[in-house]
Structure 1
Amino acid sequence: MLTSGSPAPELELEDTAGQAWRLSDLRGAHSALLYFMRSTSCPICNRHVRDLVAQRDRFAADDVRVLIVVPEARDVGLAWKTDRGIPFPVLVGSAGTAHESVGLTRRVFGSMQQSGTVLVDPDGIIRHAHGATLPVNSYDKKGIIAAIDVMRSRASH
């Protein structure tokens, strides 16, 4: 898993329309909060996404772009986004799984998909990274808010 204070990896994903998306495209302009879902059918992950949607005004006020990353194919991601009215971009891996690119896979009797969050500041530095095998532990809301508060205080100095 990624660590706070380290440079973010160059993530190259696709949105549900098939358009290329790069984390580096936000550099210098916006922070990014990526929520990596275990799967679109995970009820706990869906609850976390509902909370992200409920918090969207706060994230927007702090210029944090929220992105949801799903391990499924683009068509599944699009159907899920449409059915639930998700206002954020939904991203999928363009080659392999996006989760693996940030260290969110665990090998135990095969492969078990992990979920988690990564907050990257406008300079491309990871300010919060948290992953978990159990989805109930994958969304560290307090940690995310605290990291955003620190970023805001640094920006005002």
Structure 2
Amino acid sequence: MIDVGSTLDLKLEDTEGHPVSLADHAGVDNVLIYFMRALSCAQCNAHAQSFVRNQAQFDDANVSIIVAVPEGVTEAAAWKAKKNIPYTVVVGEEGTPHQSVGLLKKVFGAMQQSGTVLVDTDGIVRYTHASTIPTTSFNSGEMTAALAELKPVSK
């Protein structure tokens, strides 16, 4: 998994086929990238919905949310529409977005790891969390603490 204090340059594509870059957020807003294990993962879907329910917390910290999935653009677009996800949903331009941050397939190569990365307005990684077990792929308490440590953004 990528280290706190490092920078992150991902080659991503949204569900409409447009390139997505963290550089677009530099100096503007912080970015939380949630890497789902799979679109069919019930726990990952629950985590994605928890972001929607807690949107005020992310708004207060000036955080844009991106949901990264290992499937293709067509599957990601259908999932986004079906689940009414208001966030940018991305896939990798080359390989999965998961590979680019070191989230591997574990347990005999059958289970994709999931995780969370928080990047500040300067492009510095401020928080990471990775898990092979879906129920522990997102830690609300740790995320709340990481959000509180972000520097205020001038608007």
> Which band: TM-score by shorter chain?
over 0.9
Please give the secondary structure, in 2, of the residue aligned with 1:151: coil
| Backbone CA RMSD of aligned residues | 1.5
Query: Are 1:26 and 2:25 matched, yes or no?
Result: yes
In the other structure, the counterpart of 2:128 is 129
Deviations 1:1-44, CA, capped at 9 Å, x for gaps: 0121222x211100000000011111111100000000010000
Answer yes or no: is the 8 Å Cα contact 2:103–2:112 preserved in 1: yes
Alignment gaps of 5+ in structure 2: none
Q: For residue 36 of structure 1, what is the amino acid of its counterpart? A: F
In the other structure, the counterpart of 2:6 is 6
Alignment gaps of 5+ in structure 1: none
TM-score by length of 1: 0.93
TM-score by length of 2: 0.94
C-alpha distance in structure 2 between counterparts of 1:31 and 1:21, whole Å: 15
Please give the secondary structure, in 1, of the residue aligned with 2:149: helix
Q: Percent identity?
A: 44
Deviations 1:80-106, CA, capped at 9 Å, x for gaps: 000010010100011111000001014
C-alpha distance in structure 1 between counterparts of 2:110 and 2:95, whole Å: 14
Runs of 4+ more than 2 Å apart: 106-112
Answer yes or no: is the 8 Å Cα contact 1:12–1:23 preserved in 2: no
How many equivalent pairs are there?
154
Please give the secondary structure, in 2, of the residue aligned with 1:103: coil
